[in-house]
Amino acid sequence: MPWMLHVPETASELLGRMSQVLDAEAPIWDLSGSSGTLHGPPEKKKRKSAEAIQMSDRWRRKASRESIIFDMGNGCHCGCVYTLNIAAVLEMREEHMRQDQAERRAFMRAYISDNIEPSSNVGVALHTLEDVNRKLCVTGFDVYHGWAKSWTYKYLRDHKAGITQDDPNWGGDRSASSALISGVSGVSGASSCSLVDDADSVKYMSAFGWLKGLREDTEIMPNTRERQLDYIEIGELYKEYAQDDKDAGSTDDSIASRTLWQRV
């Protein structure tokens, strides 16, 4: 019968025909004619961490007219916030939204370095990018860029401390203890050893305990890992520490000096 012409006579002939069919078939990602879109194996998508997703969501909210109007409505002590243009603020925030966290930090550090002004209250000329004559206070600057509260103050402090990169040990002044451990030159052996020994002293533990208590009394700021502390001069804060220790019955020789206290 005619159909019998297509039946293989032996098992080897059957295997031969099957191998030809398998060789002729290509993986689905090589079949460009099937859909016109699949030309290669699917690429693996880079998964974002939960923290990165949350950060992205926060910036999408910040770069909205509703959020900008709300932030501007809170005002500031000098009124400069009310001089801002909503469209300009939106453009600035959208630019920061497209940046990652490292790029935002780099932007802030570069801005401070490029706008030093000793006559300013904070030592830096804060203004909008489109008009250097439109001066802003720290709150207005935060609103303009969409920074979290006290973000600008943090980087102003870092700049004064010499921190210009993400890692304080490489971007700023190296602590004597880290220099001793890592072998970084520039710190004498005697001074480095004395600083390391301070960690076991009564004065060091006095300052450490007080600062630990202060930390526990502060609250974590929204949308950040930093803790909020009302602005106070460093000298006044040290006086509070010294007075608290005296009130607790500590003697003068067990109270840390301001230099040691600031290193804790």
Q: Mean pLDDT in each 10-residue stretch from start to end of the chain (264 residues)?
A: 53 59 48 47 56 70 92 91 94 92 90 91 92 92 89 87 66 43 40 47 81 76 69 83 83 83 80
Strand partners, 141: none
CA dihedral 54, 218, 213, 160 (to 10 degrees): 80
| Res 165: pLDDT | 76
- 76 phi and psi, to 5 degrees? -155, 175
Q: Which pLDDT value is given to residue 73?
A: 92
| Per-residue pLDDT at 187 | 40
Residues 93/143, Cβ–Cβ less than 8 Å: no
pLDDT attached to residue 190: 39
pTM reported for the whole predicted model:
0.47
What is the per-residue pLDDT for 17?
59
Length of the chain in terms of residues written: 264
- The pLDDT value given to residue 94: 94
* Per-residue pLDDT, 64: 92
Residue-level pLDDT at 184: 38
